[in-house]
Structure 1
């Protein structure tokens, strides 16, 4: 089973890094476009706060969101708020999520997320960590994929490689790091195999559709495959 205690500690550290970084910007910067098309930095902070609330719902056996429309409406409602309110909301909702992790519960139980997706309760803290770390990158305030902790980058590469495994629109892909020859495999079993080599940050960028989306990777066997949106 995943070490949820370790992951909860990592969530706290990642959230503190994000809040410290965001506290250095101003309201005008918050209203500017992020790396995510159609979203300002305020949209990302609103999403992070509402996602924390949603994951508390998951732990407590309620639907993650009332509906997709309600989720989107809440983000749009909260995106224009001033920096001080945004920071307080992310901090307070994160604390509620972390407090839920202290509650005595069956971490081996299956919980339901969005769109009928299920997972073990013990994996929810890592899912929250993914939200915090990748959206810190998406804020476009100086934190890049190369700044992500190596342990997190490796785990997220493995998670996303598994997510794209078996997808018929993705050719068989082998991902390999330059510095230590770590290997992950993803994609379908049909078609011409492709090998992508490069640093962890570039491999993660391709899998997650972030930054240069793997444009600097070494590619053998064909062109750089395109992935569907996450």
Structure 2
């Protein structure tokens, strides 16, 4: 089952709100174009997430937009407004929406995405710096809400299994996202322990090396290389690691669970 991306580790640079919102809007347009192709039979077909249909994924994306609107309302008003009243309420909202028609699912998604964009456009620089709390990780500047939405849209677009793959993720997303995923995996707040390994994206900054439970320069830990999108897809459970290489040669290490 899908889980929303965990907030980024505190060491990561806070995203620029204007730039990140533009990326959210662009990625959302691509997502909606895919969703428009589904008929009633297609939304009941399995997604790439175990136990979830495409209807589950579309409903989750709509409810996530609304949940993040609540966090932006928190930033705008100063009134604590959690994403969800409880984990059970979150699951119930998703299950309640999966039986709808393709048209109803699309309308819901389109309208929730619009609510998100409208609320995001209302916030100013001071409000983006207000501490809010997502589902994990403690207080963080509200500007992270935009990156969390970008993750949701891009990753779950892949989960719809409709000719959109991690290879379609833009480099403006994959390069910072790889660093953020590695940082999360080193933070026990987000994930459990795993074997130590290092990461290097062959299409990214040649000097950017990342360590999971080890120093990036610790040559005793295996090194996993490949395109940044392929590395992220493997790390977050969206691929089995095809296209990646391990040095010294051997099986890919098991990454921490993506929560």
TM-score (normalizing by structure 1): 0.92
Corresponding position: 1:46 with 2:67: no
Instruction: Give the alignment partner of residue 213 of structure 2, picking from 165, 184, 188.
Output: 188
Offset at 1:82? 0.7
Gaps of 5+ in 1: none
Cα separation, partners in 2 of 1:118 and 1:223, compared to 1, 3 Å: farther
Offset at 1:102? 1.6
Deviations 1:31-56 (A, max 9, x none): 01100001100000000000011011
1:4-43 alignment runs, 5 A limit = 4-43=17-56
Corresponding position: 1:57 with 2:70: yes
Corresponding position: 1:134 with 2:155: yes
Given that 1:166 and 1:186 are in contact with CA atoms closer than 8 Å, whether structure 2 keeps it comes out as no
Offset at 1:110? 1.0
Corresponding position: 1:73 with 2:97: no
Tell me which residue corresponds to 2:3: none
In the alignment, the residues of structure 1 paired with residue 203 and residue 60 of structure 2 have an alpha-carbon distance, to the nearest angstrom, of: 35
SS at match of 2:140: strand
- Aligned pairs, how many? 229
Cα separation, partners in 2 of 1:104 and 1:216, compared to 1, 3 Å: closer
Instruction: Give the alignment partner of residue 170 of structure 1, picking from 182, 190, 194.
Output: 194
Tell me which residue corresponds to 2:7: none
Gaps of 5+ in 2: 1-13, 75-80
Cα separation, partners in 2 of 1:182 and 1:23, compared to 1, 3 Å: farther
Given that 1:161 and 1:184 are in contact with CA atoms closer than 8 Å, whether structure 2 keeps it comes out as no
Deviations 1:64-107 (A, max 9, x none): 10110010011001012111111111111111111111224421
Given that 1:111 and 1:119 are in contact with CA atoms closer than 8 Å, whether structure 2 keeps it comes out as yes
SS at match of 1:33: coil
